[in-house]
Chains A and B, each alone.
Chain A
Amino acid sequence: MREITYLEAVREAMSQEMRKNENVFILGEDIGVYGGAFGVTRGMIEEFGAERVRNTPISESAIAGAAVGSALTGMRPILELQFSDFITIAMDQLVNQAAKLRYMYGGKGTVPMVLRTPAGSGTGAAAQHSQSLEAWMTHIPGLKVLQPSTAYDAKGLLKAAIDDDNPVIFYEHKLLYKTKGDVPEEEYSIPIGKADIKRQGNDVTIIATSLMVKKALEAAAELEKEGIDVEVVDPRTLVPLDEETIIESVKKTGRVVIVHEAVKRGGFGGEIASVISESEAFDYLDSPIKRLGGLPIPIPYNPNLEKATVPQVDNIIDSIKEAVRFK
């Protein structure tokens, strides 16, 4: 199969949907000739024109609101926010408007919009451009929250998100943009709410999101040399969450490590841990559920400090060994 990058996969999903459905359009800051802050929309204005690849002023609240309003009235907007940190500025439109309109209107109307945005640290952009705020979004009923970790998943999940009649927050990770993977040229869709087992194993389950999936797989490859057989589960979508796949995996291995880049305190790992302990998988546990997440500090600028703030492969290896050693 053809290999393309995560970034190209995202672009391809948008382009294919736009060719097919004239109601799909994209809007955001610098998405035109500049091609977006990370180059995801590069070349799209040439194909689709400035009406459907709409460069906006720097006005996150207004553009999020414009997405909500146009979605409510028949369009299917895809909004690019340059950095997921700027969701904070669009918060009213997402939390109080997008997420609630349909319910408040008694089931009348739909808000089929996608908000795509790069999250995460690792580029030295420091505290205001490196956060992982997805747990916030998962707390809001009415929003769906996606975190693809591979090029294949990015394409299939973005198509599903565009087809979905609800507001979807689609988190991309800056350090994943250049990663490559097998991606079919034709259209395909990955159901929202279906986890993926990225690696089968019997000794311990590691549940990882976004960039941490890649790191977990690296850790698993290392541990294989020591005879530890790790299963890596990638929920892919946090809301809705595929509880069944998680529970089944934990029942199989009896041990679980949850890892995400976001600050551990109040992070989504707590939710996953609760899902496990509230289920029948609890009886199968041979060691305490272990969570690994970012330190409770803003992301620092210095590269060494930045790395030390969020889980790295070595930390994941240590946690897995700890879980496996527990008698």
Chain B
Amino acid sequence: MYKTLNLPAHIDTGKLIELYKQMWLIRYFDEKVDQFFAKGMIHGTTHLCVGQEASAAGSIAALQKEDKITSTHRGHGHCIAKGAETNRMMAELFGRETGYCKGKGGSMHIADLEKGNLGANGIVGGGIPLAVGAGLTSKMKQEGYVVLSFFGDGASNEGSFHESVNLASIWKLPVVFICENNQYGMSGPVKEMVNVDNIAERAPAYGIPGEVVDGNDVIEIINTVYDAVENARAGNGPSLIEVKTYRWKGHSKSDAKKYRTREEEMTWREKDAIKQFKDLLIKEQIFTEDTAEKLRTEAKQEIEDAVAFAENSPEPAIGTLLEDVYA
């Protein structure tokens, strides 16, 4: 049945069901963070990817376990999709010792090296060159893994993007550049900041393929990223994929969103990727409405548990302050 979707072989029914739940995990994680932020229980800053779940879940589903990613300041979704434990992520946001960075990194710096997540990044465009370096290791040591590099439409205007794509292209590195075009930088609309209709159109200038995908269509994302990943794995070099998506929330907590309209927000919300995916899975008879509901509540519970874990975790000791500056 789901074979009509022409998915890569490793995406079986079980994986699709897992992905559905994963998208809810991502959404509930960030909704929770939003609430705690408003209450002042999480400090610092954070950037939520509510509305962009399909991009993280779909792109990473196209990978094999050994493949790696670099992420962005809006990275909770990528992190969860690459297999991170939500309790340790939440603990990090609470600044606790049990967090992924022992409370020292916070939202923008979560990394999970064992699982191939080379880290979120507080510097816009900062992770893109790192992906090129990881791709270089893969090639030099013939390790066979591919690196997915996530970045935003805004980041695609940084020198680091252009320099990285060029370098990966001339060295034919196994890197797939994923531009999550959510239509805005902080407030800068992509239409005013980029003078082409699609950021993917920049790819030919570097001699690599460029594709645009619907960011609310998980299946299209999986298939497009899979092709690019396998092409890179085969030694044919990088490609650029632009995922057209939207962040439902403001840029960060203090965003009055004056740069966009309520109407525009509603149009995108109506295209909710999770809802579309659910309808598809029911239509393809992969699960029933009841199972879908059960998965959603399980995801919700997991996030509640993550919060409890975080709240019950100790603060890092002041004595750890000087640790980890040098190896």
Cβ contacts under 8 Å, A55 to chain B = 187-188, 192
Question: Which of A58, A125, A129 interacts with B125 by CB under 8 Å?
Answer: A58
Contact at A127–B258, with CB atoms within 8 Å? no
Contact at A124–B322, with CB atoms within 8 Å? no
CB contact under 8 A between A301 and B187, given known A61-B159, A125-B44: no
Cβ contacts under 8 Å, B321 to chain A = 295, 297, 300, 305, 308-309
Min distance, Cβ A58 to any Cβ of chain B, angstroms: 4
Cβ contacts under 8 Å, B44 to chain A = 123-126, 301
Contact with B along A273-298 (1 / 0, CB 8 A): 00000000000000000000001111
Min distance, Cβ A104 to any Cβ of chain B, angstroms: 23
Task: From B92, B122, B316, name the one whose CB has the most chain A CB atoms within 10 angstroms.
Answer: B122
Contact at B154–A58, with CB atoms within 8 Å? yes
CB contact under 8 A between A58 and B316, given known A300-B321, A301-B103, A301-B105: no
Is B45 engaged at the interface, CB distance under 8 Å to the other chain?
Answer: yes
Is A30 engaged at the interface, CB distance under 8 Å to the other chain?
Answer: yes
Contact at A301–B318, with CB atoms within 8 Å? no
Contact at A30–B188, with CB atoms within 8 Å? yes
Contact at B45–A303, with CB atoms within 8 Å? no
Contact at B122–A59, with CB atoms within 8 Å? no
Question: Which of B105, B122, B258 interacts with A33 by CB under 8 Å?
Answer: B258
Cβ contacts under 8 Å, A37 to chain B = 186
Minimum CB distance partner of B42 in chain A: A124
Contact with A along B116-135 (1 / 0, CB 8 A): 00000111111000000000
Contact at A128–B123, with CB atoms within 8 Å? yes
Question: Which of A32, A62, A296 interacts with B325 by CB under 8 Å?
Answer: A296
Question: Which of B122, B185, B315, B316 interacts with A129 by CB under 8 Å?
Answer: B122
Minimum CB distance partner of B193 in chain A: A57
Minimum CB distance partner of A123 in chain B: B44
Is B15 engaged at the interface, CB distance under 8 Å to the other chain?
Answer: no
Contact with B along A180-203 (1 / 0, CB 8 A): 000000000000000000000000
Cβ contacts under 8 Å, B185 to chain A = 29-30, 57-58
Contact at A57–B194, with CB atoms within 8 Å? yes
Contact at B259–A126, with CB atoms within 8 Å? no
Contact at A305–B104, with CB atoms within 8 Å? yes
Contact at B259–A33, with CB atoms within 8 Å? yes
Contact at A304–B105, with CB atoms within 8 Å? no
Contact at A123–B108, with CB atoms within 8 Å? no
Contact at A128–B108, with CB atoms within 8 Å? yes
Q: Could you say which interface size class chain B belongs to? A: 35 or more
Min distance, Cβ B10 to any Cβ of chain A, angstroms: 35
Is B174 engaged at the interface, CB distance under 8 Å to the other chain?
Answer: no
Is A48 engaged at the interface, CB distance under 8 Å to the other chain?
Answer: no
Cβ contacts under 8 Å, A29 to chain B = 185-186, 188
Contact with B along A27-38 (1 / 0, CB 8 A): 001101110010
CB contact under 8 A between A302 and B315, given known A58-B157, A125-B44, A309-B321: yes
Cβ contacts under 8 Å, A30 to chain B = 185-188
CB neighbors of A among B130-189 (8 A): 154-155, 157-160, 185-188
Question: Which of A85, A127, A305 interacts with B109 by CB under 8 Å?
Answer: A127
Cβ contacts under 8 Å, A309 to chain B = 321
Is B75 engaged at the interface, CB distance under 8 Å to the other chain?
Answer: no
Number of interface residues of A (CB under 8 A): 36
Cβ contacts under 8 Å, A297 to chain B = 321-322, 325
Cβ contacts under 8 Å, B318 to chain A = 304-305, 308
Cβ contacts under 8 Å, B315 to chain A = 302, 304
Contact at B45–A302, with CB atoms within 8 Å? no
Cβ contacts under 8 Å, A85 to chain B = 123
Task: From B105, B106, B322, name the one whose CB has the most chain A CB atoms within 10 angstroms.
Answer: B106
CB contact under 8 A between A128 and B122, given known A58-B185, A59-B159: yes
Is B283 engaged at the interface, CB distance under 8 Å to the other chain?
Answer: no
Is B101 engaged at the interface, CB distance under 8 Å to the other chain?
Answer: yes
Is B215 engaged at the interface, CB distance under 8 Å to the other chain?
Answer: no
Min distance, Cβ B46 to any Cβ of chain A, angstroms: 10
Cβ contacts under 8 Å, B188 to chain A = 29-30, 55-58
Is B43 engaged at the interface, CB distance under 8 Å to the other chain?
Answer: yes
Minimum CB distance partner of A298 in chain B: B325
Is B58 engaged at the interface, CB distance under 8 Å to the other chain?
Answer: no
Minimum CB distance partner of B325 in chain A: A297
In the bound assembly, the distance between CA atoms of A62 and B163 in angstroms comes to 14
Is B210 engaged at the interface, CB distance under 8 Å to the other chain?
Answer: no
Minimum CB distance partner of B318 in chain A: A308
CB neighbors of A among B32-87 (8 A): 43-45
In the bound assembly, the distance between CA atoms of A297 and B106 in angstroms comes to 16
Min distance, Cβ B181 to any Cβ of chain A, angstroms: 13
Contact with B along A119-147 (1 / 0, CB 8 A): 00001111111000000000000000000
Min distance, Cβ A28 to any Cβ of chain B, angstroms: 11
CB contact under 8 A between A301 and B95, given known A55-B188, A62-B159, A128-B108: yes
CB neighbors of B among A159-215 (8 A): none
In the bound assembly, the distance between CA atoms of A30 and B185 in angstroms comes to 9
Min distance, Cβ A82 to any Cβ of chain B, angstroms: 8
Contact at B45–A305, with CB atoms within 8 Å? no
In the bound assembly, the distance between CA atoms of A309 and B101 in angstroms comes to 17
Min distance, Cβ A223 to any Cβ of chain B, angstroms: 25
Min distance, Cβ A263 to any Cβ of chain B, angstroms: 11
Cβ contacts under 8 Å, A295 to chain B = 321-322
Minimum CB distance partner of B109 in chain A: A126
10 contacts between A and B (CB under 8 A): A29-B186, A57-B157, A58-B158, A89-B123, A129-B122, A295-B322, A298-B104, A302-B103, A302-B316, A303-B95
Give B residues with C-beta under 8 Å from A: 43-45, 92, 95-96, 101, 103-106, 108-109, 121-126, 154-155, 157-160, 185-188, 192-194, 255, 258-259, 315-316, 318, 320-322, 325
- Which 8 A/B pairs are nearest by Cβ-Cβ distance? A124-B44, A301-B106, A128-B122, A34-B187, A302-B95, A57-B157, A124-B43, A302-B103
